[in-house]
Structure 1
Amino acid sequence: MEHIIRDFLLTSEMLSKEGLTYSYTGNMGRKRGERLFITRTGSNLLNLSKEDIISIPLKGKSILDERASSELRVYRAILNEFPYSSLLHVHAPYTLCVSFKRKEITPLDSEGKEALGSVPVLSLRSPSASEELSEALKESFKSHRIAVIRGHGVFCLENSLYRAYELVSLLENSCKILWRCEDGKG
């Protein structure tokens, strides 16, 4: 379990250093066996501690569910459906900006293109903590490991939170390049 806690804390530190999260936004979850380790509601990824990570059943209900991230239903739906162990959600600012103008994000930079290809941008009526979000991500994750919810944020499915962070970081950098090149901001 200690390596899971380290994955959360290192990922949180890197997200903070890169400005990929702010205040009390974003959340993380990782499954191990029949357990889901998830950030608790109200935790701050800028200053995450091991007390901010709770363990609940991956399936079913628990009295601790109300303490888990508001996106708990999404984490259970996705991590029960796919063989990957980790799901990361952040509100990366440039990625959010670019999401308002596109149905998919195709990086201009070679690193982003090679690692990400095209990233779908999903437009939902209920973009946060909803059944609609769970179903849209399930469909998107059949062909991609990363998706952007227009106006809400990025979800990335991987085998570690740190690897998910790396892909989200790459997407955010690609979105900075897109924003500056195509919109004349830089």
Structure 2
Amino acid sequence: MVQVYEEWTQNLSHLGRPLETMTWAYQQICAGEDPWTGLGSFSHAWYGYAKDRRAALVNDPLVRPQKETEYTRRWAAFCAASVEFLCERYDVPCSDWVNDSYYQLSTPWSGNNSFPAITPDRMATTPPPFAKRNIFCGNRIFQNKYEMYAWTQEARAQGITDPAQVWAYARDKEIRIHGG
């Protein structure tokens, strides 16, 4: 099964799927889709099937909705922060559109409509691209399950067989690379 998954993630070009860019994800949000559905699809592109085209995933600016609301404005800021964060983390050139003052929120937001509280932990751990836009979502945003899978495979290749030790190896690597 592992081999099938690896082969599937290696070559998805035959699917002919559209590139699920950040602009596309934001359009989905503005059309009423749950934000995490569009952002999840974008994440699958970023970490999976289009990781060789990351610059294309974030190059185009967001298209502002005809009827702007606090909801769409917050998610626009979140999308801009996400692009800056991911570009910094993965050394991808970041487009200038993310620096537009439009993407700065005047009041703090948790980055989550279901859990609006901004906790001290989130204030302390939020990455700078989010914090400077007044979004306090903590540092567990955009966890990369694709990397975790690769690191568990790496642990097994090194002869680690105990599941708890495999997980600890992958988690330690995640912390070293991305922080806790």
Instruction: Give the TM-score of the pair, scaled to structure 1.
Output: 0.27
- Tell which has more relative contact order, 1 or 2 (C-alpha 8 A, sep 6+): 1
| Structure number with higher helix proportion | 2
Instruction: Give the TM-score of the pair, scaled to structure 2.
Output: 0.28
Greater Cα radius of gyration, structure 1 or 2? 2
